[in-house]
């Protein structure tokens, strides 16, 4: 059924009927001019917003509506995780072509609903407009007692990364090239490191943290820029996702390019005092099965980021990654 059959208000009613329960004591949710939210329970309120556009961030041809909805909310949860916070309320705005079907919207909202259920988020409002392409904008609020910025790191600090990297862009390559490989999970259904981010921030050991949305290289540049440092990364220590080697064998592409320049892994990249690596990894592995891997260190060579291979040869890492306005 086409959305024009039920119109804007029919669509909003359909969406709001999916989200009734309140986990965080919402006073007024979807339905009025504004949402009314209870005062925060924790010291700081945090907020993030992300916009996703059809054929820039997702393709209706290669992802299901459910996967698109899931990933849209997960991208924002990942930002909250990178501050060490926990998500609370979300506003979902959606732009839809007049030719869109109700099934498409239902699917997107089912994906959003599933992520909101698992990560305990209340959907409290949004906007619905017509657009030449599908557009999804999510504003996610969160709370935290302690936070970690990108700017607190210093030369000598260790750089660590959760989980594994490169898997999302290797998954994208499988879909875009139609490769006969299966593992597209990290691209289509990423998992945010929410509990991990909270524990890491609470540990008090971190000097900086960022989530990997645009690739390891780009995120290391962000930390170095904001903390006024350089960095040296040890290539053989980078934890590549399982599908990366298969995809690189099939395409001839450098496996490390997926990890460094691919993006959308939604892992956490963090720094801590070099003396604290052991305590931090110990604390982490006592709570999670996820890996926490040391991959390099910050240097006082401001703005210079190098990759050292197993022979000790250093090459500069390009300031590349997904950039919306570059050629």
Interface residues toward Mg ion, by CB under 5 A = 127
Q: How far is the CB of 106 from ligand ADP (least distance, A)?
A: 12
- Position 310 contacts ligand ADP (CB under 6 A): no
What size, in residues, is the chain?
A: 327
Q: Restricting to residues 109-168, which ones interact with ligand ADP according to CB under 6 A? A: 123, 125-128
Phi first, then psi, for residue 205 (nearest 5°) are -90, -15
Nearer to ligand ADP, 94 or 307 (CB): 94
In contact, 144 and 83? CB cutoff 8 Å: yes
Q: Restricting to residues 66-105, which ones interact with ligand ADP according to CB under 6 A? A: 92-94
Q: Choosing among ligand ADP, Mg ion, none, which partner's interface includes residue 15 (Cβ < 5 to 8 Å by kind)?
A: ligand ADP
Q: Choosing among Mg ion, ligand ADP, none, which partner's interface includes residue 298 (Cβ < 5 to 8 Å by kind)?
A: none
Q: How far is the CB of 80 from ligand ADP (least distance, A)?
A: 19
Q: Restricting to residues 13-42, which ones interact with ligand ADP according to CB under 6 A? A: 15, 30-33
Q: How far, in whole angstroms, is CA 129 from its chain's centroid?
A: 25
Q: How far is the CB of 26 from ligand ADP (least distance, A)?
A: 11
Q: Choosing among Mg ion, ligand ADP, none, which partner's interface includes residue 94 (Cβ < 5 to 8 Å by kind)?
A: ligand ADP
Phi first, then psi, for residue 230 (nearest 5°) are -110, -175
Smallest CA-to-CA distance from 127 within 35, 18, 4 is with 35
Chain contacts with ligand ADP (rule: CB under 6 A): 12, 15, 30-33, 92-94, 123, 125-128
């Amino acid at each position: 059924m086409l959305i024009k059959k039920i119109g804007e208000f029919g669509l909003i009613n359909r969406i709001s009927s999916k989200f009734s329960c309140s986990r965080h004591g919402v006073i007024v949710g979807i339905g009025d001019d504004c949402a009314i939210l209870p005062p925060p329970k924790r010291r700081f309120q945090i907020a993030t917003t992300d916009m996703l556009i059809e054929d820039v961030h997702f393709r209706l041809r290669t992802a299901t509506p459910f996967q698109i909805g899931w990933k849209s909310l997960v991208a924002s949860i990942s930002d909250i995780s990178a501050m060490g916070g926990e998500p609370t309320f979300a506003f979902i705005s959606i732009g839809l072509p007049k030719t869109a079907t109700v099934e498409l919207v239902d699917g997107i909202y089912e994906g959003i609903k599933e992520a909101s259920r698992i990560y305990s988020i209340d959907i409290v409002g949004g906007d619905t407009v017509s657009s030449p392409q599908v557009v999804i904008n999510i504003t996610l609020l969160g709370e935290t007692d302690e936070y970690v910025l990108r700017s607190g790191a210093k030369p000598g600090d260790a750089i660590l990364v959760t989980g594994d990297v490169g898997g999302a862009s290797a998954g994208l390559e499988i879909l875009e090239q139609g490769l006969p490989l299966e593992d597209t999970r990290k691209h289509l259904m990423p998992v945010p490191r929410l509990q991990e981010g909270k524990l890491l921030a609470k540990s008090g050991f971190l000097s900086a943290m960022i989530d990997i949305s645009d690739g390891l290289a780009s995120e290391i540049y962000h930390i170095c820029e904001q903390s006024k440092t350089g960095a040296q990364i040890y290539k053989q220590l980078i934890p590549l996702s399982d599908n990366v080697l298969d995809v690189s064998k099939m395409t001839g592409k450098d496996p490390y390019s997926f990890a460094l320049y691919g993006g959308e892994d939604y892992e956490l990249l963090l720094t801590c005092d070099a003396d604290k690596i052991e305590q931090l990894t110990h604390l982490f592995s006592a709570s999670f099965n996820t890996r926490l891997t040391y991959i390099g260190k910050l240097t006082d060579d401001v703005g210079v980021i190098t990759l050292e291979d197993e022979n000790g040869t250093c090459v500069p890492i390009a300031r590349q990654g997904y950039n919306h306005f570059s050629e």
